Amino acid sequence: MYTQTNNRIQTLIRLGLTSYEGKVFLALEQTGTATAKTISKISSVPREKVYGVLVSLMEMGLISKVITAPTTYKAVPLNDAVTLLLERRLKDYMGLCEETTELLKDYKRKHIDDSLTETSKLVLMPNEKAIVNCLQTLVGNAEVSIDWVTTWKQLSKVSMYADELGKIKKKEVKFQTVVQNPDDQQLLQNIVGLIKLPCFQLRTIAFEPPAMIWVFDKKQVLISAKFEEEITEQSAIVTGNPAFVALANCYFENMWRESREYKDTSQASF
């Protein structure tokens, strides 16, 4: 009996109760209703501790006070108590998940920022997650301009940077993009929000660009190290090295001169 009761107390502790709270609740659950004196005797919780525990359990909705003389207390059914405790634990867990997510975002942002402070360094982004995290930071941190040479399939995935695009809209960052003429007009539906940005300019070229690049504030560059349509198959190099930045700026300016202002010929309304 002792082992069984102890196991039940341990389960309640894992659900978030203290040892005293678990003992008092089980004592009430077994007796139905009882006074503080009786509860102390059955649960082996010191009398001076029982009153504080009873208040705590009432605040959690696990027991109720019965107006009698002397005052007695009654526990909710065990299944209801377990449900309440599980919901409480789930709420705490979800809150912890949100806090952890923010913590990791801050860490990644700082890690990327720190890695780019040395202008001569070339940073390899070996996979999709690294590239997306880096771009989210660089897009969100842009202050003056973003120059982008890309493909339509990559441009259509711009929704991955929705939060960051909201930031540059407020800062009125000039966003210039060069892309080859679209083969699929349906891809246009994915960039409606981007086209509506007041500082966004889109121009097209008749050929597939030989390289995909992002240039941020004429100071930071992300260059696709492997030209693939799917970002999951890509790697990229990020740098603030003046020589690479100069080459990237020249490349973008040449592509911009060779391009034409984009005019939507589809039936879609933007």
Structure tokens at 256: 């911009």
Could you tell me the domains of the chain? Answer: 2-84 (1.10.10.10), 116-261 (3.30.870.10)
Examine the pLDDT at 270 and tell me if it is beyond 60. no
Backbone torsions φ then ψ of 64, nearest 5 degrees: -135, 155
- 149: which strand partners? 178, 213
| Torsion sign across C-alpha atoms 178, 226, 104, 156 | positive
Examine the pLDDT at 198 and tell me if it is beyond 70. yes
Percent of the chain with pLDDT over 90: 30
* Residues 212-251: b if buried by 16+ CB within 10 A, e if exposed: bbbbbbebbbbbbeeeeeebeebebbbbbbeebbeebbeb
What are the CA-CA distances from residue 171 to residues 141, 194, 204, 213, 220 (Å)?
10, 15, 25, 22, 18
Q: What pLDDT digit, counting tens, does each position of 232-254 carry?
A: 557 888 888 888 999 999 999 99
Examine the pLDDT at 2 and tell me if it is beyond 50. no
Backbone torsions φ then ψ of 142, nearest 5 degrees: -60, 140
How far is it between the farthest Cα atoms of the chain? 92
Give the residue from 153, 149, 201, 151 showing the smallest Cα distance to 173.
201
Contact 84, 78 (CB under 8 A): no
Q: What pLDDT digit, counting tens, does each position of 100-135 carry?
A: 888 877 766 665 555 555 556 788 887 877 888 888
User: What is residue 112's predicted lDDT score, i.e. its pLDDT?
Assistant: 58
Q: What pLDDT digit, counting tens, does each position of 33-83 carry?
A: 899 999 999 999 999 999 999 999 999 999 999 988 899 999 999 989 999
Contact 150, 209 (CB under 8 A): yes
